């Protein structure tokens, strides 16, 4: 207690008392306080600030997408379940009985069927598709653009290879639409623009009410017996999604049976619009194949990675390295190094890692097996691709 009975106490920092107690300008005082703080930190804190924190930030930069996908079940609920319609088929069962098994009647004559696609560069898959569907299609409708969905210029691939498809020429309606080439625009805007143009091309092709219209990407291939069933059966749903078996890179890597975007519509003038999203709750199971990124040449893989609507998944330039692409294909891994796009932790964990290869080539498109030498890259045990 000081003399006079008066006590005054003031908190000070002993380590920096000589600095922080000095009078100075505001800037100098701020720097002095910073030095005070830094002098008070121990070695472990320096390691945390200079090593661990930057490492964590860099890790989030590299793996942020994976972290987001893994935590998806926390912020996004699964979509509403489809009403799944069992699919009955055997080649020795009459069409009348097949329709009856599905709860449908049978028509006196089959409906006309239009198969409409947007085409980029999938020549081999287009060949398989059209040969699979050929017996039951009234008109093949194909629209091609000189622009990718991402606004990159592209050649008219189908136009330059049209001679390969003479077998469908009498039943082909072909159209070309010029790209808008708007840099920085959402790729789905260009995609929607081209799908609207496909509606116009269908009208030119002569589609009319009650005709069947197949809406699917080139690599989403309905089986021929599925289309034959739908054209003969009466009372089918006006819109019906098709559950397809999912394959990646070839039929050697079966992913799952969850592909659902392909659909078949009973056409209604002024109402039916070509689309590639969910349009009904009804889905017919085991209705064909979806072979994604099923290309013959490495450069076709690289082109699609840069050209399609999800090109933002190419986060690093080395993803496009041809050697890496080839290694990923043979491993059955993901080209974009992504986690599975699922809605539950159980499904995500169950699909982690490469796809186990399958050695079954049963129940594949007939044209593929009839021309196995030409399309061996799509069959089990043939993961090596041509370079150009």
For residue range 320-374, what is the model confidence (pLDDT) as tens digits?
999 999 999 999 999 999 888 888 999 999 998 999 999 999 999 999 999 999 9
Write down the pLDDT at residue 324.
96
Q: How far is CA 185 from the centre of its chain?
A: 19
Q: Each residue of 272-312: pLDDT tens digit?
A: 999 999 999 999 999 999 999 999 999 999 999 988 767 77
**Mean predicted confidence (pLDDT) in 139-147:** 96
Is the pLDDT higher at 181 or at 206? 206
The answer on 90 and 29 residing in a single domain is: no
Contact 272, 151 (CB under 8 A): no
Q: What is the DSSP pairing of strand 172-177 with strand 139-145?
A: parallel
Write down the pLDDT at residue 40.
59
**Does 171 reside within a domain?**
yes
**Does 157 reside within a domain?**
yes
The answer on 140 and 27 residing in a single domain is: no
Report the length, in residues, of the chain. Answer: 388
**Mean predicted confidence (pLDDT) in 15-30:** 53
The answer on 149 and 60 residing in a single domain is: no
- Domains held by the chain: number: 3
**Does 75 reside within a domain?**
no
The answer on 175 and 66 residing in a single domain is: no
**Does 388 reside within a domain?**
no
Write down the pLDDT at residue 4.
47
The answer on 194 and 58 residing in a single domain is: no
Say how far apart CA 294 and CA 125 lie, in whole Å: 7
Q: How far is CA 58 from the centre of its chain?
A: 27
Is the pLDDT higher at 271 or at 45? 271
**Does 386 reside within a domain?**
no
Residues with Cβ within 8 Å of 27's Cβ and at least 6 positions away in sequence, in order, are none
The answer on 176 and 35 residing in a single domain is: no
Contact 193, 180 (CB under 8 A): yes
The answer on 225 and 193 residing in a single domain is: yes
For residue 56, give its domain range.
45-70
Q: What is the DSSP pairing of strand 83-85 with strand 105-106?
A: unpaired
Mean pLDDT of the chain: 88
The answer on 62 and 116 residing in a single domain is: no
The answer on 311 and 220 residing in a single domain is: yes
The answer on 95 and 59 residing in a single domain is: no
**Does 387 reside within a domain?**
no
**Does 59 reside within a domain?**
yes
Query: 342 by DSSP, 3-state: which?
Result: coil
Confidence band, pLDDT 50/70/90 cuts, at residue 21: very low
The answer on 126 and 155 residing in a single domain is: yes
**Does 76 reside within a domain?**
no
H or E stretch covering 228: helix 224-232
The answer on 91 and 24 residing in a single domain is: no
């Amino acid at each position: 207690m000081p003399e006079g009975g008066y006590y005054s106490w003031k908190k000070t920092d002993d380590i920096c008392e000589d600095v922080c107690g000095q009078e100075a300008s505001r800037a100098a005082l701020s720097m002095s306080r910073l030095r005070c703080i830094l002098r008070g930190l121990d070695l472990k804190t320096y390691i945390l600030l200079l090593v661990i924190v930057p490492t964590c930030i860099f890790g989030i930069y590299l793996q942020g997408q994976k972290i987001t996908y893994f935590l998806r079940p926390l912020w996004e609920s699964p979509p509403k379940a489809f009403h799944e319609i069992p699919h009955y088929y055997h080649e020795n069962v009459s069409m009348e009985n097949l329709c009856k098994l599905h709860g449908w009647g049978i028509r006196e004559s089959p409906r006309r069927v239009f198969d409409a696609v947007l085409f980029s560069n999938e020549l081999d898959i287009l060949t398989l598709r059209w040969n699979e569907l050929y017996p039951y299609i009234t008109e093949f409708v194909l629209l091609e653009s000189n622009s990718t969905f991402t606004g990159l210029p592209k050649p008219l691939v189908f136009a330059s290879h049209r001679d390969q498809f003479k077998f469908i020429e009498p039943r082909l309606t072909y159209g070309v639409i010029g790209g808008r080439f708007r840099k920085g625009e959402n790729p789905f805007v260009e995609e929607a623009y081209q799908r609207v143009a496909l509606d116009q091309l269908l009208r030119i092709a002569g589609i009319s009410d009650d005709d069947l219209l197949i809406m699917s990407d080139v690599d989403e291939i309905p089986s021929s017996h599925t289309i034959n069933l739908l054209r003969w059966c009466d009372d089918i749903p006006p819109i019906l999604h098709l559950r397809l078996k999912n394959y990646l890179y070839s039929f050697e890597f079966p992913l799952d049976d969850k592909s659902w975007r392909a659909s078949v519509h009973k056409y209604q003038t002024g109402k039916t619009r070509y689309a590639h999203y969910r349009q009904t709750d009804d889905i017919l199971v085991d209705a064909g194949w979806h072979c994604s990124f099923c290309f013959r040449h490495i450069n076709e893989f690289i082109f699609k990675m840069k050209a399609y609507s999800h090109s933002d998944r190419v986060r690093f330039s080395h993803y496009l390295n041809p050697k890496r692409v080839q290694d990923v294909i043979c491993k059955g891994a993901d080209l974009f190094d992504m986690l599975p796009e699922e809605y539950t932790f159980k499904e995500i964990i169950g699909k982690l890692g490469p796809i186990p290869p399958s050695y079954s080539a049963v129940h594949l498109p007939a044209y593929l097996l009839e021309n196995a030498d030409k399309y061996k890259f799509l069959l089990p045990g043939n993961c090596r691709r041509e370079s150009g």
